C-alpha cells in the first residue's frame, strides 16, 4: 500500500459528497485494495457498480467477497458490484449498505 499507485475513484468533494472511493494498486499490478465509503443511505438507489483503475486488462483477479474471478478489463469497464439494502443483490462477504457504511475489497492476481 505504501509504494502502490493511488487512484481516487469517487471524489467526496464533487457532487453531493455522499460517497467516496479510492484504490491502491501495487507497482506490478498483481494486487490492489479498494475502499468505498457512503455517508447516508439513499431510498431506492438502484444498482451500483464501481469502475476500477490500474489493473492489467488480460489478467484474471480474485476479489475478496465474490465467489467468481474477474478479468481486469471487466473490473475497469463493467465495474465491481456494490451492495445496498434496496437492490436485493446478495454478494457474499459484503454487508448491507447503511448510514456511514464502508466496503473494502482485496484484489489479487489468480
Q: Determine the pLDDT at residue 74.
A: 96
Instruction: Please state, in angstroms and rounded to a whole number, the distance separating the CA atoms of residues 110 and 91.
Output: 20
Residue 11 CB neighbours (<10 A):
12
Q: Determine the pLDDT at residue 88.
A: 47
The CATH superfamily of 5-109 is Golgi alpha-mannosidase II (2.60.40.1180)
Task: With beta carbons less than 8 A apart as the criterion, state whether 89 and 103 touch.
Answer: no
Helix (H, G, I), strand (E, B) or coil at 69: strand
pTM: 0.82
Q: Where are the domains of the chain?
A: 5-109
In the chain (110 residues long), the average pLDDT of successive 10-residue segments reads 93 86 97 92 76 97 91 96 58 60 92
Q: Determine the pLDDT at residue 14.
A: 85
Amino acid at each position: 500500500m505504501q509504494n502502490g499507485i493511488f487512484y481516487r475513484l469517487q471524489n467526496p468533494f464533487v457532487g453531493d459528497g455522499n460517497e467516496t472511493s479510492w484504490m491502491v494498486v501495487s507497482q506490478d499490478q498483481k494486487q490492489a485494495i479498494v475502499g468505498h465509503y457512503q455517508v447516508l443511505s439513499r431510498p431506492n438507489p438502484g444498482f451500483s457498480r464501481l469502475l476500477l483503475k490500474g489493473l492489467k486488462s488480460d489478467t484474471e483477479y480474485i476479489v475478496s467477497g465474490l465467489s467468481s474471478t474477474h478479468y481486469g478489463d471487466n473490473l475497469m469497464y463493467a465495474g465491481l458490484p456494490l451492495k445496498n439494502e434496496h437492490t436485493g443483490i446478495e454478494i457474499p462477504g459484503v454487508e448491507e449498505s447503511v448510514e456511514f457504511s464502508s466496503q473494502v475489497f482485496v484484489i489479487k492476481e489468480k
